[in-house]
Structure 1
Amino acid sequence: MKIWIDADACPRVIKEIIFRASERLKLPVQLVANKSLAKHHTTLIQSTVVADGFDVADDYIAENAAADDLVITADIPLAARVVAKGGVALDPRGELYTEENVGERLAMRDLMAELRGNGLVTGGPSQFSLTDRQRFASALDRLLTQMTRGKGPR
C-alpha cells in the first residue's frame, strides 16, 4: 500500500499529517506535482515532478496508483478515476470519495463551474480551517487502520 498525494494544491498541514502517519506506519508516500518539491529526510517519502500542463499530475497518479493505494486529492475528476479503478480517494478536508458520491460531486462541480462562468456565482471553496484539518486527520487515521488491516474503507 502507498499513499499518493496530488501535491500541487494540497495544503502543507495536510502533507505533514500524512508524513507523520507514514512514519508511524512505515507506509510509502508518493508526492506528484508539476513543480519542484522540498526534499525529505526519509526514504518513505518520494517526489515525482511531471511536466507542466493541464491534468498531467492527475494522469500520472491515475495511471500509477494501484487499487490498494490511497490517493489524497481535492480534484474530483481524479478521484472519480481512482474510485472507478477500485482505489480509495480522500479529500484534504476529510471527505471520502466513494462510488456512491463521486458522480454527484462531479455533477455539482460542473454545475458550479458553469454558474461561475456565467457570472451567477463568484468565489470558490471556503478557506481551509482547523475543523477541516481535524476532520482530515480523523478520516485518514480511520482509513489507514482499515486499509492496513485489509478491510478497506467500504
Structure 2
Amino acid sequence: MQIWVDADACPVVIKEILFRAAQRTQVPVTLVANHTLRVPPTPLVRFVQVAAGFDSADDEIVARVAAGDLVITADIPLASDVIAKGAMALSPRGERFTADNIRGRLNMRDFLDTMRASGIESGGPPALGPADRQNFANHLDRILAQRK
C-alpha cells in the first residue's frame, strides 16, 4: 500500500497527520502538487511536482495509483477515478469515498456546479475543525490497521 495525496489543497494539519502515520506504519506517502512543497527528510515521504494546469495533479495520481493504495483528496471526480482502479479514497475531513457512495457524490457535485453556473452562490465548505481532524485520523488509522 502507498498513500497518495492530492496536495494542492490538502490542509497542512492533514499532511502532518500523514507524515506521522508514515513514520509509525512505514507506509510511503507521496504528495502530488503543481507548486513546490516542503516535506520531512525521510525516505517514506516523497513529493512529485507536476506542471501547472487544470487537474495536472489529479491526472498524475490516477496514472500512478494501484489497487489497494489510498488517495487523500476532496476532489470527487478524482476519488471516482481511483476507486475505479481499485484504490481507496479518503477526504481530509475523514469521509470515505466508496463504490457505493461515489455516484451520489458526483451527482450532487454536478448539481451544485450547475447552480453556481446559473448565478446561485452556495458557499464553500466550512473551515476544517478539530472534529474533522480527529475523524480523518481515526479513519486513516482504521485503513492502515486493515492492511496488515
1:119 Cα deviation after fit: 2.0
Matches within 5 A, 1:1-150: 1-147=1-147, 149=148
Distance in 2 (CA, whole Å) between partners of 1:79 and 1:16 is: 21
Distance in 2 (CA, whole Å) between partners of 1:144 and 1:134 is: 15
- Residue aligned with 1:53, SS: coil
Give CA deviations for 1:80-135 in whole Å, capped at 9, x if unaligned.
Answer: 00001111010010011100000100110111111112122331111111111011
Q: Is the 8 A contact 1:112 1:121 kept in 2?
A: no
- Residue aligned with 1:141, SS: helix
- Residue aligned with 2:16, SS: helix
Q: Is the 8 A contact 1:3 1:72 kept in 2?
A: yes
* Unaligned stretches of 5+ residues in structure 1: 150-154
Distance in 1 (CA, whole Å) between partners of 2:104 and 2:39 is: 37
- Residue aligned with 1:4, SS: strand
> Bigger shift: 115-124 or 34-43?
115-124
- Residue aligned with 2:46, SS: strand
1:39 Cα deviation after fit: 3.8
Q: Is the 8 A contact 2:71 2:88 kept in 1?
A: yes
- Letter aligned with residue 110 of structure 1: D
**Counterpart residue number, 1:152:** none
Distance in 1 (CA, whole Å) between partners of 2:131 and 2:71 is: 21
Distance in 1 (CA, whole Å) between partners of 2:55 and 2:93 is: 21
> Bigger shift: 33-42 or 49-58?
33-42
Q: Is the 8 A contact 2:31 2:46 kept in 1?
A: yes
* Unaligned stretches of 5+ residues in structure 2: none
- Letter aligned with residue 132 of structure 2: D
- Residue aligned with 1:71, SS: strand
Q: How many residues align?
A: 148
- Letter aligned with residue 54 of structure 1: F
- Residue aligned with 1:13, SS: helix
Distance in 2 (CA, whole Å) between partners of 1:91 and 1:65 is: 16
TM-score, normalised by the number of residues in structure 2: 0.97
After superposition, the Cα gap between the structure-2 partners of 1:96 and 1:51, relative to the gap in structure 1 and judged at 3 Å, is: same
Distance in 1 (CA, whole Å) between partners of 2:104 and 2:134 is: 25
